[in-house]
Amino acid sequence: MNGPSNTDEMGGGEGYWELVWIQLKKNRGGMTGLIIAFLLFSLAATAPLVANDRPIIAQYNGNMSFPAFQTYVDVWVPWRSMRYGMKSFKVAGTFPMSEHYPELEGQTWKEVRDSPEMGFSVWPLVQWHPNQFDADSLKQEISKDHWLGTDDLGRDVLSRLIHGTVVAMLVGIIAMSISSAIGITLGVIAGFFGGWVDIFLSRGTEVVMCFPSFFLIIAVIAFLEPSIVNIMLVLGFVGWTRIFRLIRGEVLLVRNLDYIAAARSMGLSQTRIMFRHVLPNVVAPVLVAVPFGIAGAVLAETSLSFLGFGDPSVPSWGEIVYQGRAYVSQGLWHLTLFPGIAIFITLTAFNLFGQGLRDAMDPKLRH
């Protein structure tokens, strides 16, 4: 078994990935992790339809509208200015992005729920918006209305947890994409060119690795304005060193193989060889690093939010724990316990999946 380098001959690389998939299916922990991760992504993708204070579909005065979908802009667009821009943009009729529903005449959807004008409606599972203040139920424990209680501003914890999935997944994916892009590019360049380029890049990586990265992240985040985007960017720009080292090592192994020499003899350009011939054969180890990287980014983001550097307008799990910390002595245990469990499940899922993937891709463990 020659591992990844066989992909080109085997046409589309199905052979290798099929083997990995078979191995992964045998790994119970890995599969559990994968399934939970998939569920988390699905929850994040449908968060506005699962927890919201407005119906998914509503027929009001005979007009059909889809109010819950507008929350997608709030949730899935992390850039604040872009969010405002998109909300002021109105698509005719069916998909109003704007908050205003003139036909409601200033009432909320909940208030008109039982009115005679309301025809047919489909409501989300949790009928609270994550940022909706409920002055009547501050610091409530578990109740019929609020299944996981409310925080000090009366916001529903369950709804915030569900929407927190979006934040966690966004941070995990974007931070990981940034660090993968940087790590892969630099790693291929360092390994492929070698010499001074390699020395320079490897030394640079060593410098970044020696940094007290969490401390540095706090420093940078504290100087920037609180925004989830900044957290993603900073985590992405700090976390690429591991991928760099993995890729560089793989490239060093691959670059002297015959098929690279063949590509050279055909007179292909350096860039083409680097990215079309070397890169596809070295990315496999990065895939193992991805789940671990996502887990790391989620942990870092929740830690930052816990320290109070998060974006207060975004429901992050860490921020709920941060709020809960202030009320520990008042017995608001639900503010601490539930987000912690959410973080724990996420970390476990991605760690399990990563481990399963690593085992599946390790030729030594294959029979």
Partner 1 sequence: MIRYIFKRIVAMIPTLFGITLITFFIINLAPGDPVATQFGAGDQQNTDGGENQDQDRQSDAIKAKKELLGMLAEDKTVFAWSPVAAGDGLVAMEWDRRVGSFDGWIHALIRVGDTWVAGGDEGLLQVLENSGSVRSTLEGHTVGVWALALSPDGQTMASADIEGNLRVWRGGAEIGFAEGDKKPIRDLAFTGDGTGILATSDTGSIRLFDAQTVSMKREYIGHTSGVYALAMAPDGAHFWSGGYDRTLRYWSLDKSQPLHESKDHAQAINDIAVSGDLVATACDDRLVRVYTYSGGDLSDPIELKGHYKQVSAVTFSADAKRVFSGSRDETIRVWNTATGAAIAQTPNKTGRVHTLVFHDGELYSGADSWSEVAIAVRYVKWLGRLVTLDFGRSFVDEEPVIDKIAKALPITLYLNVIAIFLIYGISIPIGIYAAIRRGRLFDNVSSIMLFILYSIPNFWLATMLIMMFSSKRTMDLLPSVGLHGANAGNMSYLSWLGDWSMHLALPMIVMVYAGFARLSRFVRTSMLETIQQDYVRTARAKGLSEKLVMMKHAFRNSLIVIVTLVGNLLPALIGGSVIVEFIFSINGMGKLGFDAILSRDYPTIMAITTFSAILTLCGILVSDILYSVVDPRVVNE
Question: Rule CB under 8 A: which residues touch partner 1?
Answer: 203-204, 206-208, 210-216, 218-220, 222-224, 295, 299, 302-303, 306-307, 318, 321, 324-325, 328-329, 331, 333, 336-337, 339-340, 343-344, 347-348, 351-352
Shortest distance, position 178 Cβ to partner 1, whole Å: 17
Q: Which is nearest to 131 in space by CA: 85, 83, 90, 196?
A: 83
Shortest distance, position 158 Cβ to partner 1, whole Å: 18
Pick between residue 109 and residue 322 the one whose CB is nearest to partner 1.
322
Residue 266 CB neighbour total at 10 angstroms:
9
Matching residue, tokens 């990563």: 354
128 in Cβ contact with 146 (< 8 Å)? yes
- Relative to beta strand 63-65, strand 57-60 is antiparallel
Pick between residue 196 and residue 223 the one whose CB is nearest to partner 1.
223
Shortest distance, position 152 Cβ to partner 1, whole Å: 15
Shortest distance, position 220 Cβ to partner 1, whole Å: 7
Q: Where are the alpha helices (DSSP H) in the chain?
A: 14-26, 28-50, 71-76, 80-87, 157-193, 195-210, 213-223, 228-238, 241-254, 258-265, 270-272, 279-282, 284-306, 317-326, 333-361
Pick between residue 66 and residue 327 the one whose CB is nearest to partner 1.
327
Taking the C-alpha atoms of residue 208 and residue 113, their distance in angstroms, rounded to an integer, is: 56
Pick between residue 17 and residue 214 the one whose CB is nearest to partner 1.
214
Shortest distance, position 40 Cβ to partner 1, whole Å: 14
Integer angstrom CA distances of residue 33 from 140, 284, 349: 33, 19, 4
Cα torsion 313, 315, 321, 325: sign? positive
Pick between residue 187 and residue 339 the one whose CB is nearest to partner 1.
339
Q: Is 59 exposed, middle or buried (0-12, 13-18, 19+ CB in 10 A)?
A: middle
Shortest distance, position 342 Cβ to partner 1, whole Å: 10
Pick between residue 62 and residue 331 the one whose CB is nearest to partner 1.
331
Shortest distance, position 305 Cβ to partner 1, whole Å: 10
Pick between residue 201 and residue 282 the one whose CB is nearest to partner 1.
201
Burial 173-185 (b: 16+ CB within 10 A, else e): bbbbebbbebbbb
